[in-house]
Structure 1
């Protein structure tokens, strides 16, 4: 127990303490010293935090050291035994003179066996002489006390004096108290060391200032910062430090060739400012963490690839639209994007997500038209085990649940069935979902972006879209212009995709071809332009003609190609049967579902309905 030191004021206590320590099987260092000498020993013993002692030595140790002092008490039995000894010696007027930390701090007189006992506490050794001198006229014939009173009793010719002893019980009690304190201190020190180790090993630098703007605590990185910045170290004065913190809070600093992001937190306790905490984050680690999060989300398919930097444009119309979109990105309100097929609605939704405060959270994209009606509810809201035949044994998270804390993008919202529209409305109102087959409600935090190429107001009029849902999703609205209304961007987009697919540009094409492409209506918008550019880049030759280009455009868009021109339409059937016949003939001619939907201008859900 190197943290405990026993300082006995005299040999009698040392002898009892030595026996007690042996009985308790303890190796606590034991020294005989008192007052100033004891104080000097305590100060030199750096490893000692707890000292056991008694009397005036305790008083001096408490006054002149910052150690924890355990005072050896005196039992009432010892005092009564001392009084009994003096009574048997014939003493009639006894004074108990001792430090006020041993006996009660107020003077008093008691009578025991027709013997008067006066209690005289003192706080300084200099007071003992005065106390005895004041007692002499009162015929004091016996003194019980500490070392000092007993020594002075002889000087004043008081023959009967007894030193107040501490018995083995009192000493054992003091040692046990010291052991308990040492154990608590050891646990506290271990907690502090663990906390310091944790704080030293985090990636942030931490500096804590007191009200006087002096650093009172810091971790390993915080110490490096203080060593390399005189302002933060407080060497330039409080005013300059305050200005520095105000100027750079939330900004990036360059300290010792390392970029650090500074945050300042004020600690208010009982509505009073106490300390300030500075937190420095390494910018390169922030970037690495962001990349890791994005990679993890990407691997789960919950990642938005596009940003505003990926959107190609030079037209004023798109400039204005994107300025608005960037402003909308900072809001959590629902957004409705309207645009024709192929105008880039999902790319814009991804860009808004990546420019928002949710950029490092999931981005879940749902094409409402591509989900079969029988599955759309379970896909959106999830289900628990046994919810229906064919359900996964462990259940499944819904897309809304997967988008928690991030953004969910509902494309082709106009194709959502009415019953699902009702559930979606409740989700938006309550911000909570319930899996199919479950009775538990799950709170969700999402940002909703919807897109459509349909006239939702017309669908409301036709009873195919809920009006209350329309107003819920149409808080912030963006209308993407078709390519024919942003002709300034056509050549820019053509150059980009021609270079991407064949490392050529519009400069490689004849003037008449460029003119034709610029004036072409592009009904399929950017998607159509991209397809045409890919074909052009693939078959490009220096002598490519305008007729070749027209042929390419026809191949991409012509719904009356050689395969479809041979369709047989039974004119005696109703419209429904005619649709089924056309679809079946296209399937027989090996058209894919995507191609059939594109040719007939219908969604995959509609195709699924017509073929089931």
Structure 2
């Protein structure tokens, strides 16, 4: 029985030969294949059982050469699976010439590749007769390397397009040759090609789109990323990796990992199974490297390496720490907010402005209410750190554990109730900025030692943690105590005192700069939005009083006057405690009687004892808020936190006894004697 005769008619002689050889290799045992081309010319009638053409255009042109009733089939072509794999390894957004022998076939091939899901490449048609394209270094060609322009650096030959399985099935069906043997031939062919069936094309497009999406994701991460397969050949290489290694993705994709990491300093990266946060020098930059191996069901499947520049890590850390400014860690005041024109205050402000330009530790000394925190804010805002965080912390009356957890932070699980994941301390949050430590004289020896380490080493360790965290901070400390005396009494570390006392500032009390009182009074009225003329008599009285609570007490006095006055404010409107203090002339003789200056405890503590004694005699319990209210009549303005600190010290000195439950706080015999001595 004679074999069916199939004639292939296409444009070029070369394509005619290639298609005939492919079909002969597959179905030559069942069908006789011949080929013709327009390039060689067709000059006789074609006798065939079936004619295969490369396009509908050629089908129309050859109709006059065919016997009536001859069937015509348009050949569908595709590419080999290995060729598709080559193209899929090219990086996202790669520009490449698609080079073929003529315009029509070139455009057909571009369309075919896009249909098969090669959508991550920008394919530019190129064929003989066109001018070279200068900004493209890669060419893709179906066995037409002779047509590739000379400026191309890399050529990817995807081989001749192959006849698609759908065309093979159509030919076999035409001649009723579809049987077990021919089916095996077709299935073997399908395994080597990318079939153009609609369902498969959709799957291939999905694969390509997934790869494209992954490429976009990798390009937006702030790390260089290199992925590699089980043969340690590079399969992914993002844009930042290009910048780090100064090598284009298309040059390294598919190449062995050790070629990219050939420098001796990088050899360990290619050979190590895993790397955790190690620093390597690459092209003049220090990078933190991590490497992870992928093990799938016990089988090595390649891995991924990430590279992050150290300065990028520092930038992110700084951004994180600066974000706390949104939470309120910002400086509020400048030197213009310090009211007064006295010589003492002016000299202090001048010195503070000079110290602001330095990065050394500043120690601010001054009585309660003199404006130590105001000065700290102003110093920060006049420094080079003004755009960075300003963190304030009052050390008074807090336990060691609370002070340390606030200042140094704590790690995950450091103690019962610790926040999951830990918490950064104020030193960390103040990174690149300023931390203001008020009432520094109240911290314990243990906390003093940890603070000394921060000043000396510029690093902290969280409570319960082991990691050393570097911090770049400027410390401003403040106290209303005489630290030098505390050092002499063994209550404050000498080495810490010398570390803190590098740039000392002493704020004069209000009694030493009474010339500033009129300016302050005017400011406080204006702050409340009230225009009020104070009589000369009243102003003189305000200047006679010695203001043991300093500027804070004066502000409270003005607030009192604003709230109780009707129209004209007179001396009769003053708070009773001020009027009483002025009558016996205490204001003219100094701040307090001489005996208070010789006390081993702060003078306000004696008055706290008096308040406690009054409550004790009335058999009433009394809280810190009530104590504060009672102290005002003696001219003291202390916060509840400050009162807590004074109570803690009185207990330590044996002047009071603090009991749990109903017993509450009681004055000891020593406390009774102290009150009697200074009554």
Q: TM-score with structure 2 length normalisation?
A: 0.46
1:592 and 2:626 equivalent?
yes
- SS of alignment partner, residue 347 of structure 1: helix
The residue number in structure 1 matching 2:326 is 296
Give the distance between the partners of 2:453 and 2:158, measured in 1 at CA: 73
The residue number in structure 1 matching 2:646 is 606
Give the 5 Å matches for 1:138-149. Answer: none
1:382, 1:396 within 8 Å by CA — same for their partners in 2? yes
Please list every run of 5 or more consecutive structure 1 residues that lacks an aligned counterpart in the other structure. 1-7, 75-171, 174-184, 200-268, 272-288, 560-574
Give the 5 Å matches for 1:310-349. Answer: 310-315=337-342, 317-349=344-376
The residue number in structure 2 matching 1:483 is 510
1:593, 1:604 within 8 Å by CA — same for their partners in 2? no
Please list the CA deviations of residues 201-239 of structure 1 after superposition, one character each: whole Å capped at 9, or x if unmatched. xxxxxxxxxxxxxxxxxxxxxxxxxxxxxxxxxxxxxxx
- SS of alignment partner, residue 454 of structure 1: coil
TM-fit CA distance, 1:304: 3.2
Give the distance between the partners of 1:305 and 1:461, measured in 2 at CA: 36
Please list the CA deviations of residues 429-478 of structure 1 after superposition, one character each: whole Å capped at 9, or x if unmatched. 22333344444444333321100122211111111111100111122222
Q: RMSD over aligned Cα, in angstroms?
A: 5.5
Please list the CA deviations of residues 480-519 of structure 1 after superposition, one character each: whole Å capped at 9, or x if unmatched. 22223434432221111123336033xx222222233244
TM-fit CA distance, 1:357: 4.3
The residue number in structure 1 matching 2:335 is 308
Give the distance between the partners of 1:399 and 1:557, measured in 2 at CA: 44
351 and 296 in structure 1: CA distance in 2 versus 1, 3 angstrom threshold = same
1:530 and 2:560 equivalent?
no
1:336, 1:476 within 8 Å by CA — same for their partners in 2? yes
328 and 13 in structure 1: CA distance in 2 versus 1, 3 angstrom threshold = farther
The residue number in structure 2 matching 1:39 is 128
Give the 5 Å matches for 1:91-490. Answer: 293=323, 296-298=326-328, 302-315=329-342, 317-372=344-399, 375-383=402-410, 391-392=417-418, 394=420, 397-490=424-517
Please list the CA deviations of residues 94-132 of structure 1 after superposition, one character each: whole Å capped at 9, or x if unmatched. xxxxxxxxxxxxxxxxxxxxxxxxxxxxxxxxxxxxxxx
Give the distance between the partners of 1:461 and 1:401, measured in 2 at CA: 32
1:498 and 2:507 equivalent?
no
Give the distance between the partners of 2:11 and 2:142, measured in 1 at CA: 7
1:510 and 2:535 equivalent?
yes
59 and 313 in structure 1: CA distance in 2 versus 1, 3 angstrom threshold = farther
TM-fit CA distance, 1:396: 5.3
- SS of alignment partner, residue 363 of structure 2: strand
The residue number in structure 2 matching 1:52 is 141
2:364, 2:372 within 8 Å by CA — same for their partners in 1? yes
TM-fit CA distance, 1:412: 1.5
TM-fit CA distance, 1:425: 1.4
1:42, 1:48 within 8 Å by CA — same for their partners in 2? no
Give the distance between the partners of 1:398 and 1:380, measured in 2 at CA: 5
Give the distance between the partners of 1:558 and 1:375, measured in 2 at CA: 45
60 and 486 in structure 1: CA distance in 2 versus 1, 3 angstrom threshold = farther
The residue number in structure 2 matching 1:180 is none
The residue number in structure 2 matching 1:141 is none
The residue number in structure 1 matching 2:91 is none
Q: TM-score with structure 1 length normalisation?
A: 0.50
1:9, 1:53 within 8 Å by CA — same for their partners in 2? no
Give the distance between the partners of 1:371 and 1:611, measured in 2 at CA: 19
The residue number in structure 1 matching 2:232 is none
11 and 194 in structure 1: CA distance in 2 versus 1, 3 angstrom threshold = farther
Give the distance between the partners of 2:435 and 2:154, measured in 1 at CA: 61
467 and 48 in structure 1: CA distance in 2 versus 1, 3 angstrom threshold = closer
Give the distance between the partners of 2:489 and 2:583, measured in 1 at CA: 31
TM-fit CA distance, 1:197: 9.1
1:532, 1:556 within 8 Å by CA — same for their partners in 2? no
Which moves more between the two structures, 341-350 or 13-22? 13-22
TM-fit CA distance, 1:336: 0.7
Give the distance between the partners of 2:414 and 2:365, measured in 1 at CA: 36
TM-fit CA distance, 1:533: 0.9
- SS of alignment partner, residue 492 of structure 2: coil
Please list the CA deviations of residues 538-569 of structure 1 after superposition, one character each: whole Å capped at 9, or x if unmatched. 2234443334437462479999xxxxxxxxxx
TM-fit CA distance, 1:532: 1.2
Give the distance between the partners of 2:392 and 2:375, measured in 1 at CA: 12
Give the distance between the partners of 1:536 and 1:61, measured in 2 at CA: 94
